Amino acid sequence: MAENELRVNAYEAANRRFVGGRLHTGGQAYFEKLSDEPFDDTELFLSPGFIDMHVHLFDGYGIFGMHASLFGHRWGVHAMSDAGSCGFDNIDGFYKYIMPTYRGVTKPKLWIHVNRFGLPSNHESIDFSTLRPELAARAAREHAGDVVGIKVRLNCDIPEKDCLVPLDRALEAAELAGLPLMVHISQGPPNCEDILPRLRKGDVVTHIFNGKPGSPWKADGAPSDELLDAQRRGVLFDVAHGFSSFNFNTCRGALEHGFRDVSVSTDMHKRCFAGKPFTFTDVMSKLYACGMTLEEIVWGATAKPAAILGFDGWTDMDALCGHGTLFSFRENTEKRVFFDGFGNTAIPDKVFHAESVLVDGELIACDDVPPAVDLG
């Protein structure tokens, strides 16, 4: 290769394949396709910019919010969606104080919480008087284009006899707004056998591989009947690793039973730093360790979330150098160990690493991306 040229395999999402070519980096970067087949002598890959479907980027709010420049481009991620940090009562504050700091750093989208206060703590769905479908729908309409859906979290801290009330109110908000619903599943009740039949085409179940009691998996790892039925109806599924929402055993069992079509996301928030640190590409490596293919993972990190979030043209080949990610997929020579939140470990034979981002034709090393704001 000549100077300012990189031999890469580029992801052609329209055909769900990799093609061989050169990335020209002198001046305005561009990709030159050389082969319909991927090269076998390079560890470098070029893809549309990674999209993190589930983060918490309302910096300074509640127990979860962080600033996106701590992970964004530094991890090869160009776009992300905040999963419910904002509600009707604080979304204007987000726009006034937080959103301006993200311009030029990432492209944020929002799932607005059915709770009027968003996500201040772990127990926001207990007080049903704060779950206001009409207010959530109004805020979604007022911020159309940025707000892509409604969010609700369902877990065992909700009074059991009324544990589906938050879901019903969130579905009402989604209907009023004409938007999909993102449903956080965790330890039940409510259990997924009761949650999944209520969901509609285009709704998103997040933390799908959490493996906790009440999750949608049989004892042998196979998907439950309710999960398969939801999948047939067009319900979508998201990884959302988080602090304790990804289980190697659950993921491995699901993949072995053919359940493989998921969006890749970190659920990055402040509490994640209380456990083993991880990045977006670490989540990709964990999925590979469980048996997902390179192509399936890149699809789940680019094309699938782009469709959910409405990023039209995101995966077009001529857009690769406008918002692209250059990553390596190489032998795990150091035998790096990866952890889940349940004491399980895995050592994949190959690992992902974000090398650079392409922004409007400029190649920027991920390690050189500065914070967008003074983070103290």
- Does 145 reside within a domain? yes
The whole-angstrom distance between residue 268's C-alpha and the CA centroid of its chain comes to 9
Weakest mean pLDDT among 1-10, 130-139, 211-220, 226-235: 1-10
- Domain shared by 234 and 355, yes or no: no
Domain that holds residue 258: 50-314
Distance, in Å, from the CA atom of 2 to the CA atom of 166, rounded to the nearest integer, reads: 59
- Does 374 reside within a domain? no
Distance, in Å, from the CA atom of 83 to the CA atom of 108, rounded to the nearest integer, reads: 11
- Domain shared by 334 and 310, yes or no: no
pLDDT digits (tens, 9 = 90+) for 315-368: 999 999 999 999 999 999 999 999 999 999 999 999 999 999 999 999 999 988
- Does 375 reside within a domain? no
Distance, in Å, from the CA atom of 249 to the CA atom of 57, rounded to the nearest integer, reads: 29
- Does 267 reside within a domain? yes
- Domain shared by 37 and 122, yes or no: no
- Domain shared by 37 and 58, yes or no: no
**Percent of the chain whose pLDDT exceeds 70:** 97
| pLDDT higher than 90, residue 306 | yes
- Domain shared by 294 and 196, yes or no: yes
**How many structural domains is the chain composed of?**
2
Confidence of residue 23 (pLDDT cuts 50, 70, 90): very high
DSSP structure class, residue 369:
P
* Angle between helical axes of 133-142 and 165-177 (0-180°, round to 10): 30
pLDDT score at 70: 84
Distance, in Å, from the CA atom of 79 to the CA atom of 70, rounded to the nearest integer, reads: 13
| pLDDT higher than 70, residue 371 | no
Q: What's 34's domain CATH number?
A: 2.30.40
pLDDT score at 2: 65
HSE, CB side, 13 Å, CA atoms: give it for residue 94.
30
- Does 196 reside within a domain? yes
- Domain shared by 111 and 258, yes or no: yes
Distance, in Å, from the CA atom of 105 to the CA atom of 360, rounded to the nearest integer, reads: 12
For the chain, where are the alpha helices, taking DSSP H only? 91-93, 133-142, 165-177, 192-195, 225-233, 248-256, 280-290, 294-301, 303-309
Confidence of residue 104 (pLDDT cuts 50, 70, 90): low
- Does 373 reside within a domain? no
Radius of gyration of the chain (CA): 20
- Domain shared by 223 and 290, yes or no: yes
| pLDDT higher than 60, residue 372 | no
- Domain shared by 55 and 184, yes or no: yes
Distance, in Å, from the CA atom of 59 to the CA atom of 106, rounded to the nearest integer, reads: 14
Last residue of a domain, one of 283, 314, 345: 314
pLDDT score at 276: 81
Find where tokens 């690793």 sit.
Answer: 241
- Domain shared by 43 and 59, yes or no: no
Find where tokens 């398969």 sit.
Answer: 228
pLDDT score at 101: 83
Q: What's 83's domain CATH number?
A: 3.20.20.140
- Domain shared by 222 and 355, yes or no: no
Supply the mean pLDDT for the chain: 94
- Domain shared by 215 and 354, yes or no: no
pLDDT score at 375: 39
Confidence of residue 118 (pLDDT cuts 50, 70, 90): very high
pLDDT digits (tens, 9 = 90+) for 151-197: 999 988 787 778 999 999 999 999 999 999 999 999 989 999 999 99
- Does 376 reside within a domain? no
Locate the DSSP E strands across the chain. Answer: 5-12, 17-24, 30-35, 44-48, 50-55, 77-83, 107-113, 147-154, 181-185, 204-206, 236-238, 323-331, 338-339, 345-346, 350-359, 362-365
Q: Mapped to the 3 state alphabet, what secondary structure does 133-157 carry?
A: HHHHHHHHHHCECCEEEEEEEECCC
pLDDT score at 106: 76
Last residue of a domain, one of 314, 336, 353: 314
Produce one character per residue of 247-284: b if its CB has 16 or more CB atoms within 10 Å, e if not: bbebbbbbbeeebbebbbbbbbbebbeeeeebbbbbbb
pLDDT digits (tens, 9 = 90+) for 53-85: 999 999 999 989 998 888 899 999 999 999 999
Weakest mean pLDDT among 14-23, 28-37, 59-68, 240-249: 59-68
Last residue of a domain, one of 293, 314, 335: 314
CB of 270 within 8 A of CB of 66?
yes
**What are the residues facing 339 on neighbouring strands?**
345
**What are the residues facing 356 on neighbouring strands?**
326, 365
**What backbone phi and psi angles, to 5 degrees, belong to 161?**
-65, -20
The whole-angstrom distance between residue 367's C-alpha and the CA centroid of its chain comes to 21
- Domain shared by 83 and 103, yes or no: yes
Q: Give the pTM.
A: 0.96
pLDDT score at 348: 98
pLDDT score at 69: 84
- Does 21 reside within a domain? yes
Q: How many CB atoms lie within 10 A of CB 124?
A: 23
